[in-house]
Amino acid sequence: MMTIKTVQATPFAGQKPGTSGLRKKTREFMQPGFLENFVQSIFAAIDGAEGKTFVLGGDGRFFNTDAIQTILKMAAANGAKRVIVGQGGLLSTPAASHLIRKYAADGGLILSASHNPGGIDADFGLKFNGANGGPAPEALTAKMLAHSQEISEYKIADVADIDLATCGTQDVAGMVVEVIDPVADYAMLMEDLFDFDAIRDMFEGGFRMRFDAMHAVTGPYAKTLLETRLGAPVGTVINGEPSPDFGKGHPDPNPVWAKTLMTEMMGDDAPDFGAASDGDGDRNLIVGKGLYVSPSDSLAVLAANAHLAPAYSNGIAGVARSMPTSSASDRVAEALRIASYETPTGWKFFGNLLDAGRVTICGEESAGTGSDHVREKDGLWAVLLWLNILAVRKQSVTEIMADHWQTYGRDYYSRHDYEALPSELATDLMEGLAARLADLSGQDFAGLTVESADSFAYHDPVDGSDSQNQGLRIFFKDGARIVFRLSGTGTEGATLRVYLQRFEAGTGALFDDPQEALAQVIQAAHDIARLERLGREGPDVRT
């Protein structure tokens, strides 16, 4: 066809997808050919785009629509049959996952750097999800990287920009582009899963909620679901307009970055329930009146109470959590006599377990929870399941947590992040620690005795694949645990994550401040890894 151009390409170093897709500084992504090379490498990794259907959209950050135009033209040039795009280029990650499944697409390209800030001087990202709606597994991302290293040309259609503002169908160099409402299908799915009548009654009865969309993609989704369909008062959703730089904020729903919400929830006239989501809508922060619920606990509560929602009324098959996530959900799985799994960090490791029907609910300590309704974590899903549980149990978040901890005990938990460290320093610290792991058993740190230590490796029980070096684990005699891991989503230097956990039985002190309850474990982490070498006064973020 006349309009198809083949452009000579030179490989870029560093197109290696991390925990969740390829993330780089926006300016790096904007270099001529950078995005194009990676997209062509994705198509190559899936044996071409010919005749295929894709879903395409992003979290609305700077460069979102430009990237979408490029990808559409490349998909057309590579022979794709059809691309379903969110209006205005918007699609939350879970909504994209749902669309892939609902319309039996061959995959989807999602533009987001998730919780990383947006803007020309911030971060951009691109990930590919497969036909099951889930993030590309490691074998596939390895192929993308391999292609990116030997790429010599890419194909792009030489056509005018596509109209993303109007819903409807267009022809782009022989490919069908279908612009759809980004919210409609997702909202329908949520209505299928949950008891909207019960939640609506709760709001009618005066239940108050605040949802912080953090100027990111969940704004339109949350407004439709919470305010329009569930009748929560207008204004329940704050920061609800997606903006290219997320209002200059950091769309990471944790107590540090969702400060406005946290302040309100800890205040005198706090609403009954607070929540927030991240850049691309797959994470959730849950906070009750005066009580922050750690994501690990939230996962456990959702697993224990899921049967109260219509979609899970027959019970759940099993629960999976990422390794650094606390043991709280394991305790629930044990009590329910269902399977529990421990996977490496990142949603891509849950896909096989979900596809095989081994688990129904999955979660990560980083504020990601989800179920088999899609193949991504899903922020609003978690919020709606919480609302459904609150509506049925007619108790406060604090009452539910108290009951949960009395039943199962409490895993005090916190994650300490040291961000933007010099890469060499961080690597050195991890390598030094890895080399000492074997000798740690029996040693005392801050009064805690090491029981065992290892580098976490995962054997996928479904496809038999193995993943090594997924974090250093140190177990103590009294059941405490510390995990050290380097982040795979950063774009600047290295981020060290230190995950801290200690168990308190249901008869013990259940409402202590986690930082205080973990003081000894935190000290042990410092002593073991000699964290003073980082030259920091303390962590940048504590969740």
Q: Are 226 and 210 in contact (CB under 8 A)?
A: no
CB of 348 to ligand VG1, least distance (A): 8
Which of the stretches 65-73, 400-408, 453-461, 484-492 binds ligand VG1 when contact is defined by CB under 6 A?
A: 484-492
Q: Which parts of 13-72 interact with ligand VG1 (CB under 6 A)?
A: 19-20
Q: Which is nearer to ligand VG1, 107 or 368 (CB)?
A: 368
CB of 364 to ligand VG1, least distance (A): 4
Which of the stretches 23-31, 112-120, 224-232, 245-253 binds Co ion when contact is defined by CB under 5 A?
A: 112-120
Please state the φ and ψ torsions of residue 221, each to the nearest 5 degrees.
-70, -45
Nearest residue to ligand VG1 by CB is: 114
Binding residue for ligand VG1 (CB under 6 A) from 129, 284, 340, 345? 345
Strands (E), 430-493: 444-445, 448-455, 458-459, 466-467, 472-476, 481-486
Best CA proximity match to 384, nearest among 81, 48, 71, 94: 94
> Hey, what amino acid is at 331?
R
CB of 436 to ligand VG1, least distance (A): 23
SS3 readout for 74-96: HHHHCCCCEEEEEEEEECCHHHH
Contact characters 309-338, ligand VG1, x per CB under 6 A: -------------x----------------
CB of 19 to ligand VG1, least distance (A): 3
Q: Does 497 bind ligand VG1 (CB under 6 A)?
A: yes
Q: Which is nearer to Co ion, 344 or 409 (CB)?
A: 344
Contact characters 250-289, Co ion, x per CB under 5 A: ----------------------------x-x-x-------
Q: Which does 542 bind (CB under 5 to 8 A by kind): ligand VG1, Co ion, none?
A: none
Binding residue for ligand VG1 (CB under 6 A) from 364, 372, 378, 411? 364
The count of other CB atoms within 10 Å of the CB of residue 233 is 11
Which residue among the candidates 20, 92, 97, 114 is catalytic per the annotation? 114
Q: Are 356 and 399 in contact (CB under 8 A)?
A: no
CB of 366 to ligand VG1, least distance (A): 4
Rounded Cα–Cα distance for residues 271 and 210 (Å): 7
Q: Which does 346 bind (CB under 5 to 8 A by kind): ligand VG1, Co ion, none?
A: ligand VG1
Q: Tell me how many residues contact ligand VG1 (CB under 6 A).
A: 18
Rounded Cα–Cα distance for residues 250 and 21 (Å): 19
What sign results for the dihedral spanned by CA atoms 513, 517, 519, 525? Answer: negative
First to last CA, the chain: 54
* 319 contacts: CB under 8 Å, gap ≥ 6: 299, 303, 329, 330, 332, 333, 338, 339, 340, 341, 359, 360, 361, 362, 363
| Residue 114 bears catalytic tag | yes
Binding residue for ligand VG1 (CB under 6 A) from 288, 295, 351, 368? 368
Rounded Cα–Cα distance for residues 286 and 379 (Å): 10
Q: Which does 366 bind (CB under 5 to 8 A by kind): ligand VG1, Co ion, none?
A: ligand VG1
Q: Are 10 and 150 in contact (CB under 8 A)?
A: no
Query: Which DSSP string corresponds to 202-232?
Result: HHHTT--EEEE-TTSTHHHHHIIIIIIIS-P
Q: Which is nearer to ligand VG1, 78 or 114 (CB)?
A: 114
Match 């929870």 to its residue by tokens: 369
Q: Does 251 bind ligand VG1 (CB under 6 A)?
A: no
Q: Are 360 and 371 in contact (CB under 8 A)?
A: yes
Which of the stretches 6-14, 59-67, 157-165, 343-351 binds ligand VG1 when contact is defined by CB under 6 A?
A: 343-351
Residue 526: alpha-carbon gap to chain centroid: 28
Q: Does 484 bind ligand VG1 (CB under 6 A)?
A: no
Q: Does 250 bind ligand VG1 (CB under 6 A)?
A: no
CB of 489 to Co ion, least distance (A): 9
Residue 374 carries which DSSP code?
S
Q: Which residues would be at the binding site for Co ion (CB under 5 A)?
A: 114, 278, 280, 282
Q: Which residues would be at the binding site for ligand VG1 (CB under 6 A)?
A: 19-20, 114-115, 278, 282-283, 322, 345-347, 364, 366, 368, 487-489, 497
The residues annotated as belonging to the active site are: 114
